[in-house]
Amino acid sequence: MRIRNIRCREVTGSLPFAGEFWEERLSRPIDVYPEHRTEGVPWLERRDAQTYTVRATFMEVETDAGIVGLAGPITPNIAHIILTDFKGLLLGADPLAVELLWDKLYRLSVHGRKGITMMAISALDCALWDIRGKWFNVPVYALLGGPTRERIPAYASMLGFSVEPEQAAARAREFAAKGYTAQKWFFRAVPADGPAGVERNVALVQAVREAIGPDADLMLDCWMSWDLRYARTMAERIAAYRPRWVEEPVMPDKYDVCAQIRRHAPYPIANGEHEYTRWGFHKLLEVGAQDVLQPDIMWAGGLTEVVKIAALASVYDVEVVPHNHSTYATLHFSASQSPALCPVQEYLVKWNTINNFFFTHKPEPINGYLELPQQPGIGWAIDESVVETCVIME
């Protein structure tokens, strides 16, 4: 079997939704500048009062055996890198040789060891694993060494919901009633917002903790927007609410600062959503910057690489709970790992409504658990009935 072609499809569809779909965004490092602090969510496009336009790009790796590997959604600029930089290298190659092809892609991309080029490698790697599973007629987790269990506990990741305390508490109770025993909420105020911002962040934590009760897990995401002084201030204010972890307190290259925060904070620190490859994660582990590692399979190097990152983490006795921009790919990874290493999986509630919009099968937690996919490959399949327009990128 050989790779015959690689193509990308840009598609659009209509998401019915009355009202404001994305109620609030998270804090961002660029919010240190006042002109950016009030910006909204520019990528979400409203068509009319009842509908949003959904746009996505998918990559297809075609083989001469008739098997097609799918990956996505990806961004158009990731698709551009795949088609211009990598397609020529992969045409005619054996798609089952994932280690060989990953190594070639990495060695070709010495200036793309992190960021968008590594995201392109990640998507290609996942598409190759999709081909592998279809070729051997098994789910990918079976080829990775699993399953280690029949279902994976999921936590509700509440990005996009209002963080106004009363509304957040109502949403938190709603999702607790759906069977989620863990939720993650996202801070909106940043250090530049001063003492008033601290109070808003603390009010959010208090409201959600009181809503979900003392025994449920509460995670909190800073999205790289804090600094050392602010992290120390917040640690004193929110410790009583017992977070399971506080996530990405500082910018990703501040390894030592994050390690200092971890030593000071009376709760665990999670990190690594914006880190790449085993080498980047090894640096995090060496300095002791986190209790939980969060590689994103669609960013950090694909399934081939994240399995290696997990092996590194196991040596340091650090949990791995991937950032989840692909529920399906992450499910296969989690199902192949020990529950002691990968105890839970993120489920981004609002994000997945958009990210999974074009898929025939949309994995969604039931009573707080994600069931393992049973179809061969990763499980991605596009529902052509919801595709309104399609442009082929070559």
Could you tell me the maximum CA-CA distance found in the chain, to the nearest angstrom?
62
In order of 8, 42, 58, 329, the CA distances from 70 in angstroms are 10, 27, 7, 11
DSSP character string of 25-76: PPP-GGGGSHHHHT---TT-EEEETTEEEEEEEEEEEEETTS-EEEEEEE-H
Note the pLDDT of residue 43.
76
Domain boundaries, the chain: 3-137, 142-371
Catalytic annotation present for 361? no
Given a cut of 70, the residues of the chain with pLDDT beneath it are none
Identify the bridge partners of residue 182 per DSSP, sorted by sequence position. 217
Do 129 and 303 contact (CB within 8 A), yes or no? yes
Note the pLDDT of residue 340.
97
Strands (E), 64-130: 68-74
Note the pLDDT of residue 145.
94
In angstroms, the CA 390 to CA 377 distance is: 24
- Phi then psi for 20, rounded to 5 degrees? -90, 110
231: helix, strand or coil: helix
- Phi then psi for 316, rounded to 5 degrees? -95, 0
Sign of CA dihedral 345, 350, 352, 353: positive
Note the pLDDT of residue 220.
98
Do 347 and 183 contact (CB within 8 A), yes or no? no
Give the CATH fold of the 3-137 domain. Enolase-like; domain 1 (3.30.390)
Which of 323, 325, 332, 361 is flagged as catalytic? 323
Q: What long-range pairs does 330-333 form, CB within 8 A, spacing at least 24?
A: 330/297, 331/141, 331/152, 331/363, 331/370, 331/372, 331/373, 332/129, 332/139, 332/140, 332/141, 332/144, 332/146, 332/303, 332/373, 332/378, 333/141, 333/144, 333/297, 333/303, 333/306, 333/307
In angstroms, the CA 245 to CA 221 distance is: 9
189's tokens? 């105020």
Domains 3-137 and 142-371 share a fold: no
DSSP 212: H
Note the pLDDT of residue 40.
86
How many angstroms separate the first and last alpha carbons of the chain? 22
Give the CATH fold of the 142-371 domain. TIM Barrel (3.20.20)
In angstroms, the CA 42 to CA 366 distance is: 31
69's tokens? 């590997």
pTM: 0.96
